[in-house]
Amino acid sequence: MLKRKRWIFAILAILPTLAIFAYVRLYPIADTLRLSLFKWDILSKNKPFVGLANFRELMGDHLFIDALVNTTIIAFGVLILTIPMALVIAALIFHRTRSRMAGFYETAIFIPHVVSLVPAAMAWKWIFDARLGPLNALLTFFGIPAQSWLFDPVLSVICIIVLCSWQALGYAVLIYIVGFKNLPVSLYEAAKLDGASGPQSFWYLSIPMLKPITLYVSVVTLVSGFNVYAQAFVLASDAQGAPGRQVRVLVLDMLENSFRNYRVGYAASEAVVLLVIVLGLTLIQFSTLRERGKA
Amino acid sequence: MTTNPVNYIEPTTEELSEGVRLRRKKRVMNFAIDVFLIVVSILMLLPLVFLVANAFKTPAEMLSWPPTIIPRDPTIANFAAVLGETPLLRWIANSIAFAVMSTIAIVATSAIAGYIFGKFRFRTLNILFALFLATAIVPFEVYMIPLYFQAKSLGILNSVWGLLLGYLVMSFGIFLIRQNVIHSIPDELLEAARIDGAGEFWIFLHIVLPLLRGALGALAVLAFFQAWTAFAWPMIVTTTRTSYTIEVGLALFQTGFTVDLGRLSAASATVLIPSILLFVILRRNFVQGVASTGLKE
């Protein structure tokens, strides 16, 4: 009787949240999957089922391939730049935990992660600006020719990677510091007694023991890298001033197909590709962690 | 050492000087690390510092090399121009309204769902929780196009309600509160209240919520900043100039033909300064919330 009453309370209490969740999460996710199999254009009246035709078309769509390649380069570029730096900085901040400056270091490195994307991207737009930017001024000071950073196809991708890494670093450092705090102190004391130096215990103890954290941070960084949009939108306007066109990324391509070309079904199939990438990365994380658990 | 005088051996002068040497070496190392970390911290902040400085510069000074951190003759012309040309204050108001409402919605739904999933062990609930868990990894960008059409059919495009539709629930918030409920609210406490005849709703309101204050605070800060910095969703939901959030407004303001960096900086600084201040004030809550994202292993 009592149990029954508790059950009713639990269901009644969870119901509103569940209803919202179903409406703003479950339904649109299911709808994305459904739309990806249809030729669903806003303009045409009949929206036939086309099976995997959208995906087949994606394979030959050079704009999509371009976007996929750019996005992948950005995601892995950010990963390669961020993780080693974050690990070293977190280790040093952890080493100086008791100093008065520790709070300042953490805050300063974390601020780029919390400030709004667009204003922060503006700061970098100025830095990279070909005519006004301090980066070119600095280069010419050292006798290196000035570059048009934001209009060169290769350099503009690098600019976006730098901006994204600058934002991602604070998060990675924070998670690593938490990781360091959870490592057993006794192990380090034992290593010290055996004559290990600071860098040695960092290399042979911290890095292997922090592997699960590294994996977690890597996947989070990659996933947010694959969702990059605002940074490219602001930094990479093309010569005509159309935002985000210089470096095409997946989300931009998807939104253009949906709202400029009115091809919603086709855009949904791009969203499914994005989902498959994210799921793949998450699965790699889980399976690697499980293997470690077995060993 | 002095407690056992029999075995105490006077250290030799060499041993003493060795100790002094090691301590000095350690101090030098720590100093070097501090210098390195200060340089890194300053480099991380420099772009934002320059952005704020540029906001107060005349066009001529923007060009000068090396760039000045404190403008030689500060001007507020950029701010005046931006406020005259754009509904900047309206955009900020939209963003605040959106972020506050989203925070309230997320805190409320997470508190209830987190508590129910944490303390009520029924099979139906376990299945539901697995459902929440499974969809948590799906990025927002994947399902925002169908969600846009839902907002359209509700007739709430170009309004704060449309913005809110995408930010009503947060899977991570539910996990965070559930973890906290499991670890910090003992079953005995709830049972005792039940034996005393307290109703379930009364227990949630008067026992559970006060105990969750810290976690809910951290979640509120996370939720606020999440909505405040949202970009893709506001970008597609708002298409009229008066309904933009600050992020969208700024992003579209910069795509005009002439990119006036002075004005862009002024507009950006107007947004940046309050949000940095807010972050510095709420840092502890924020760090606690973000740090707990890494702990769900």
Residue A263: strand pairing partners: A41
Indicate the pTM of the whole model: 0.88
Out of B145, B169, B255, closest to residue A264 by CB: B145
CA Rg value for chain B: 27
User: Taking 90 as the threshold, does the pLDDT of residue B43 lie above it?
Assistant: yes
Q: Where are the domains of chain A?
A: 52-294
Is A101's CB within 8 Å of B63's CB? no
d(CA A102, CA B248): 35
HEC sequence for chain B = CCCCCCCCCCCCHHHHHHHHHHHHHHHHHHHHHHHHHHHHHHHHHHHHHHHHHHHCCCHHHHCCCCCCCCCCCCCCHHHHHHHHHCCHHHHHHHHHHHHHHHHHHHHHHHHHHHHHHHHCCCHHHHHHHHHHHHHCCCCHHHHHHHHHHHHHHHCCCCCHHHHHHCCCCCHHHHHHHHHHHHHHCCHHHHHHHHHCCCCHHHHHHHHHHHHCHHHHHHHHHHHHHHHHCCCHHHHHHCCCHHHCCHHHHHHHHCCCCCCCHHHHHHHHHHHHHHHHHHHHHCHHHHHHHHHHHCCCC
Is B287's CB within 8 Å of A110's CB? yes
| Chain A CB contacts of B268 below 8 Å | 118-120, 122-123
Out of B142, B147, B247, closest to residue A275 by CB: B142
Is B272's CB within 8 Å of A17's CB? no
Is A28's CB within 8 Å of B62's CB? no
Q: Which helix (H) or strand (E) holds A71?
A: helix A62-95
User: Taking 50 as the threshold, does the pLDDT of residue B297 lie above it?
Assistant: no
- The pLDDT assigned to B1 comes to 45
The tens-digit pLDDT sequence of chain A (295 residues) is 678 888 899 999 999 999 999 999 999 999 999 999 998 887 777 888 888 999 999 999 999 999 999 999 999 999 999 999 999 999 999 988 888 888 899 999 999 988 888 888 888 988 888 777 888 888 888 888 888 888 888 899 999 999 999 999 999 999 999 889 888 888 888 888 888 888 888 888 889 999 888 998 999 999 999 999 999 988 887 666 677 778 899 999 999 999 888 999 999 999 999 999 999 998 888 888 777 655 4
CA distance B111 to chain A (A): 10
pLDDT in tens, B185-234: 999 999 999 999 888 899 999 999 999 988 899 899 889 989 999 999 99
| Chain B CB contacts of A13 below 8 Å | 112, 115-116, 200, 204
Name the least confident of A170-174, A243-247, B102-106, B239-243: A243-247
pLDDT in tens, B77-92: 888 888 888 899 999 9
- The pLDDT assigned to B259 comes to 66
User: Taking 80 as the threshold, does the pLDDT of residue B2 lie above it?
Assistant: no
Q: In this predicted model, which residue has the larger pLDDT, B44 or B25? A: B44
Q: Look up the CATH architecture of domain B79-293.
A: Orthogonal Bundle (1.10)
The pLDDT of B128-133, averaged and rounded, is: 89
Closest chain B residue by Cα to residue A125: B261
| Chain B CB contacts of A217 below 8 Å | 294
CA distance B146 to chain A (A): 5
Is A243's CB within 8 Å of B251's CB? yes
Do residues A217 and A169 touch, judged by C-beta distance below 8 A?
Answer: no
| Chain B CB contacts of A29 below 8 Å | 135, 138, 142-143
CA distance B189 to chain A (A): 16
| Chain B CB contacts of A132 below 8 Å | 62-63, 261
Is A282's CB within 8 Å of B137's CB? yes
CA distance A132 to chain B (A): 6
ipTM of the complex: 0.88
CA distance B112 to chain A (A): 7
Is B143's CB within 8 Å of A254's CB? no
- The pLDDT assigned to A20 comes to 95
CA distance B13 to chain A (A): 23
User: Taking 50 as the threshold, does the pLDDT of residue B296 lie above it?
Assistant: no
| Chain A CB contacts of B42 below 8 Å | 108
pLDDT in tens, A90-107: 999 998 888 888 889 999
Q: In this predicted model, which residue has the larger pLDDT, A40 or B163? A: B163
Q: In this predicted model, which residue has the larger pLDDT, B14 or A209? A: A209
CA distance B72 to chain A (A): 17
Q: 3-state class of A1 per DSSP?
A: coil
Q: Where are the domains of chain B?
A: 13-75, 79-293
Is B41's CB within 8 Å of A268's CB? no
CATH number, domain A52-294: 1.10.3720.10
A-B CB pairs within 8 A amount to 274
Closest CA to B265 of B95, B72, B65, B71: B71
Q: How many CA atoms lie within 13 A of B62 on its CB side?
A: 24
| Chain B CB contacts of A110 below 8 Å | 287
Name the least confident of A87-96, A254-263, B7-16, B44-53: B7-16
- The pLDDT assigned to A2 comes to 72
